[in-house]
Amino acid sequence: MSNKQVLTYRKTNAEFYLGDSEEILKEILSNSVDLIITSPPYSDQRKGSYGGIHPDKYVEWFLSKSQELLRVLKPTGTFILNIKEKVVNGERHTYVLDLIKEMKKQGWLWTEEFIWHKRNCHPGKWPNRFRDAWERLLQFNKQRKFNMYQEAVMIPIGDWAKTRLKNLSETDKKRDNSRVGSGFGKNISNWVGKEVVYPSNVLHLATESSNKSHSATFPLSLPSWFIKLFTKEGDLILDPFLGSGTSSISASFLNRNSVGIEILSEYYNIAIERFKNETGKKNLNVSKKLIKVEENFSENQLPFTYV
């Protein structure tokens, strides 16, 4: 039996479950979640809190959970998995690559890979490698057609346009097809007068420095970027390895509902208190049913800086 608490912010619900995600996921309705975003324990890490999972056992450990995630995700939904390979005996272990292949066998489509460039990673020196300054964010889907709101994450076009678009050649004014036969092409003149463009799949974000309560906290801007890209207001976000609650906070700030699952009571309590502190809401409701709100709201203000 799991503990559950529901916090409300504006007109959204943030549900917090204490218990094993694999068991609690069975309580969630099939095809009910719009976005899953999570950072599970990396192999052999967080041993003091999560016990650690050996690299050779990681795929087996995760697949039983990803099977349930596949069930609860809507056909039009997206799963974003933050994960990184571990160095074992001087070389990178292949458990992440092995996991991708096994998840494909489960029925997942490996649609895209995003890179999180950690702008403020700690310096260091190692005999045969440099510091890790990036992590993977793997995108999985159930089908090729899924919800994606690209205009929600557009960025300023940049200073390059001021000079590049002033002097267009004849080639710039027509479609220039790729030389490698990829089928892609570009027409530079299409960008004249544009102020915003679509971003790349590399996110340049600093790690979270204000939250010292969890050893693997990603910044609010990271889940918020994917929440804006793959969901609309009133949608349901799921984080099966909630940690200190960053995904739930981001979801509520963006008027989305959320379900967070955490196996450790220490982090479960931290996530709830952090949510209340950061949203400024102290009212706590307790519920026994999965609440799903399908309303549209006009508010869409982020009380933090994102990409």
Rg (CA), the chain: 21
Q: Hey, what are 241's tokens?
A: 């390895």
CATH of domain 3-151+200-285: 3.40.50.150
Buried b / exposed e over 143-155, threshold 16 CB at 10 Å, is: eeebbbeeeebee
Q: How far is 102 from 96, CA to CA, in rounded Å? A: 10
The domain limits of the chain are 3-151+200-285, 155-197
pLDDT of residue 305: 29
The four Cα atoms 286, 288, 294, 296 give a dihedral, to 10 degrees, of 0
pLDDT of residue 285: 43
The answer, as to whether pTM is greater than 0.95, is no
Name the strand (E) or helix (H) holding 215: none
Query: Tens-digit pLDDT profile for the chain (307 aa)?
Result: 468 898 888 888 999 999 999 999 999 999 999 999 999 986 655 444 455 788 999 999 999 999 999 999 999 999 999 998 888 888 889 999 999 999 999 999 999 999 999 887 777 777 888 888 899 999 999 999 999 999 999 998 877 666 777 777 766 666 666 566 665 666 667 667 678 889 999 999 888 655 555 445 689 999 999 999 999 999 999 999 999 999 999 999 999 999 999 999 999 999 999 999 998 754 444 333 333 322 222 333 232 222 3
Report in angstroms the alpha-carbon separations of 229 from 108, 212, 248, 307. Answer: 19, 28, 16, 12
Helix, coil or strand: residue 136: strand
pLDDT of residue 86: 83
pLDDT of residue 287: 37
On whether the CB atoms of residues 78 and 36 are closer than 8 A, the answer is yes
pLDDT of residue 302: 30
